[in-house]
Amino acid sequence: MDITREDDYFHNVELPYLGSLALRKWSKYYIQRKPTVFCDSLGLDHSYDHIYKSARWLEDIPRMVRNQHKPMLADKDSKLYQSNICRMHKVAELCHKRGIHLYLVMPPVHPEYYRLADKKQLELIRKAVAEVVSCWDNVSSHEYFDDCRFTDDDFYDGNHLNSDIGAKKFSTILKNDLSVAGYN
């Protein structure tokens, strides 16, 4: 979308940027001969199907929350936060120029993930979304972060819906909500 991170040389280079993740993927495929892509013919990723869910997934949620929040909690001077808002505005502007309505969607997370999430950080995210929505007439937001319609069976882990149950459920909800709001 022609949005780059000028301050990060490796941003567009997958292997150095992903570091250990790229090495794990490489070794999983080339050494262990295990698949690293679980997409079907329609491009749907099935690596998050409920059959692959870890038995300890609920116990892993506190660690997930801590790891997810590290970058923003370390952002003491708000440079990362401001940079992300700027990117959101650039995407909104690009969509506006092309006559595209932009939907900012915050998908659901498990109730335990939501309970443990840093509330100040969550408020900053909501504030950023509200700023972008208020500045651009082609942008709307839809938040499902703490949506109570989702159960344990819908989640693959603390912050991902499983692809065969939860994602289908969310797609139906989102389609209905966007239709009710007058969007097609």
Number of separate domains in the chain = 1
Q: Which pLDDT band holds residue 42 (cuts at 50, 70, 90)? A: low
Q: State the Cα–Cα distance between residues 107 and 91, nearest whole angstrom.
A: 19
pLDDT digits (tens, 9 = 90+) for 107-127: 999 999 999 999 998 999 999
Q: State the Cα–Cα distance between residues 89 and 84, nearest whole angstrom.
A: 9
Q: State the Cα–Cα distance between residues 119 and 107, nearest whole angstrom.
A: 16
By DSSP bridging, strand 102-106 and strand 139-143 are parallel
**Side chain identity at residue 165, one-letter code:** I
Question: Is residue 117 in some structural domain?
Answer: yes
Candidates 96, 93, 95; CA nearest to 85 is 93
Question: Is residue 13 in some structural domain?
Answer: no
DSSP line for 27-57: HHHHTS---S--B-TT--B-TT-GGG--TTT
Q: What is the extent of the structural domain holding 108?
A: 37-180
What pLDDT score does 1 carry? 40
Question: Is residue 146 in some structural domain?
Answer: yes
Question: Is residue 6 in some structural domain?
Answer: no
Question: Is residue 81 in some structural domain?
Answer: yes
Q: Over 90: is that where the pLDDT of 184 sits?
A: no
pLDDT digits (tens, 9 = 90+) for 45-102: 666 778 888 899 999 999 999 888 788 778 889 998 999 999 999 999 999 999 999 9
Only one residue has tokens 């790229």, namely 22
Residue 59: burial class (beta carbons within 10 Å; 0-12, 13-18, 19+): exposed
Question: Is residue 57 in some structural domain?
Answer: yes
Among left, alpha and beta (phi > 0; psi -120 to 50; other), residue 75 is beta
Question: Is residue 66 in some structural domain?
Answer: yes
Q: State the Cα–Cα distance between residues 55 and 102, nearest whole angstrom.
A: 37
Mean per-residue pLDDT over the chain, rounded: 84
Question: Is residue 82 in some structural domain?
Answer: yes
